[in-house]
Amino acid sequence: MECESVREQMLDVLYGEADADSTARFERHLSVCSGCQEELANLRGLRFTLQAWTLPRQRRSVRRFAPPRYFWAAAAAALVILALGGALALAGFEMRFTRGPVVVRLGGAARGTTVAPRASDELSTVASQNAVRTAATNGLQDEVLLQRVSEMIRQSEERQQLTVRANLTGFEQRTARQRRYDLARIGAGLSYLDGRTGQHMARTTELMGYVLQASNRREP
Amino acid sequence: MGPLDEELVAAFQGGDVAAFDTLVERWERKIQGAIYRILHSDDEARDLCQETFLKAFRGLGSFRGQAQFSSWLYQIALNLCRDRMRRRKTRTWVSLDEMGDAAPADRGASALELVENRDLSRRVAAAIAALPEEQREAIILKEYEGRTFPEIAEILDVPVSTVKTRLYRGLDQLRRRLEQQGIRGSSDAAVAAP
């Protein structure tokens, strides 16, 4: 009964998780109980045996979740270009090149009535593009996640195909092995029967010989 | 020593996705190893390891530290393993071919020792695979993952005393099974019958 009650302490001692009090209590019990001494020794031996199960060499299965650093640099550059474009559009930037020198002009006041609506169009376009970019940045984790999922599905399918192929090959090999084994057994069985029949015939002939000898001896 | 898991979790929750990569690097091998020991398949171990971290990535935003991060990860992995086992609808099988590429434990061992070790490795794996699920999980978490009893209780969501009962019963069964095969553990060496 006491052995049952110290079992938990035995596990704590076995795995080095016992505090000083329980260790002392358990050792007191151990000093008078040969059954528990043997049990502890057996468990230690078993733990040693269990260490024989080693893992195969592992390959990494999980790729990076965070986007690479240059992604942020590219995103920042795109935003700067967009902002610059927006600013130029607001300032009425105009560039012409029609059979003459290149003409660059800021603040297209000469065509105020036509430029103003264009600038507002540009402004709304830039604003909507910025909104899209912001949404894209916010939804970055989802995007990364989706990419990761599709990549994982692809890898998984490849691996499954490989496994199926390997299993089929293994199945063929096992079938061939089993066939060879069955044929060998059938052959051995036939030889055995053949041997038995031969022995039986020999014994019959031998008996017949005795019978003949006996009958010959009685005749005179 | 790098930042604690809890610090990395907080950083991720604050928007630092790279913090999650550090957590992956820290726990990937352990999680993959644990899954391998439960399912005995390298491919499935890698698949489910990916899935474990994917689930963690999705769920970490709402993780409130009710358990250790590592215990939470092990919980996800074990649940995925249980689902996979149920889907297989058969008991755990051990592919001896696959077990054959186990890494040699000792580089200085002779060829004979390596063969013997590999054989022992297969037998131990097969004996553990034949245990009931609860005992097998307790043994793997304790013996191979080195989790403490309170951590295992957290992962399996049972009291510590239940963990110890499952572990003790599992070890007892294992010892009997291995002894039936002539394998007796000793503190010097594990002896396998010829």
Nearest CA in chain B to A61: B46
Chain B positions touching A60 (Cβ under 8 A) are 28
Torsion sign over Cα B20, B26, B29, B31:
negative
How large is the average pLDDT for residues A59-72?
Answer: 68
Contacts within 8 Å (CB) and 24+ apart, B182-186: B183/A49, B183/B120, B183/B123, B184/A45, B184/A49, B185/A42, B185/A44, B185/A45, B185/A46, B185/A47, B185/A48, B185/A49, B185/A50, B186/A45, B186/A48
pLDDT score of B193: 39
pLDDT greater than 90 at residue A152: no
Under 8 Å between Cβ of B170 and A29 = no
DSSP string, A156-195: HHHHHHHHHHHHHHHHHHHHHHHHHHHHHHHHHHHHHHHH
Average pLDDT rounded to a whole number, residues A28-39: 93
pTM score > 0.90 for this model? no
What was the pLDDT predicted at A100? 64
H or E stretch including B193?
none
CA angle B170, B176, B178 (to 5 degrees): 100
Chain B closest-CA separation from residue A194 CA (Å)? 36
Which stretches within B18-159 are classed as H helix?
18-39, 42-59, 69-88, 96-99, 111-129, 133-139, 149-156
Number of Cβ pairs closer than 8 Å across A and B?
A: 135
Contacts of B50 in chain A (CB under 8 A): 61-62, 152
String of DSSP letters for B133-172? HHHHHHHIIIIIT---HHHHHHHHTS-HHHHHHHHHHHHH
In chain B, which residues have their Cβ closer than 8 Å to the Cβ of A43?
171, 175
Asked if B171's CB is within 8 angstroms of A46's CB, the reply is yes
Residues of A with CB under 8 A from a CB of B: 7-8, 11-12, 15, 17, 41-62, 64-67, 140-141, 144-145, 148-149, 152, 156, 159-160, 162-163, 170
Q: Is the Cβ pair B43, A160 closer than 8 Å?
A: yes
* Crossing angle of helices A20-30 and A34-50, rounded to 10°: 120
pLDDT in tens, A197-213: 777 788 888 888 888 88
Query: Which of B29, B46, B164 lies closest to A11 in CB terms?
Result: B164
> For residue B2, is pLDDT > 50?
yes
Give percent above pLDDT 90 in chain B.
64
> What residues does B191 pair with on adjacent strands?
B184
Between A86-95, B144-153, B155-164, the lowest mean confidence (pLDDT) is in A86-95
* Contacts of residue B170, Cβ cutoff 8 Å, sequence gap at least 6: B131, B132, B135, B136, B138, B139
Q: What is the DSSP letter of B63?
A: -
* pLDDT exceeds cutoff 70 at B165: yes
Q: Which amino acid is at B23?
A: L
CB crowding B91-122: b at 16 or more within 10 Å, else e? ebebeeebbeebeeeeeeeeeeeeebbbbbbb
Q: What is the mean pLDDT of residues A62-72?
A: 68
pLDDT of residue A107: 67
A48–B29: do the CB atoms touch at under 8 Å? no
Contact check, Cβ <8 Å, B32/A43 = no
**N-to-C CA span, chain B:** 47
> Lowest-confidence range among A100-109, A183-192, B114-123?
A100-109
Q: What is the C-alpha to C-alpha distance for residues A95 and A102, in angstroms, rounded to an integer?
A: 7
Give the whole-number percent of chain A exceeding pLDDT 70: 75
Yes or no, beta carbons of A66 and B49 under 8 Å apart: no
| Per-residue model confidence as pLDDT tens digits over A130-147 | 666 656 555 667 778 888
Give the confidence band of B95 by pLDDT, cuts at 50, 70, 90: low
Angle between helices A20-30 and A7-14 (to 10 degrees): 110
3-state secondary structure of B21: helix
pLDDT digits (tens, 9 = 90+) for B16-58: 989 999 999 999 999 999 999 999 999 999 999 999 999 999 9
| Structure tokens, B183 | 């394998």
A159/B183 CB distance under 8 A: no
Instruction: State the pLDDT at residue B109.
Output: 61
pLDDT above 90: residue B177? yes
pLDDT at A132 (0 to 100): 61
The answer, yes or no, to whether residue B170 has pLDDT greater than 80, is yes
Work out the pLDDT band at B4, boundaries 50, 70, 90.
very high
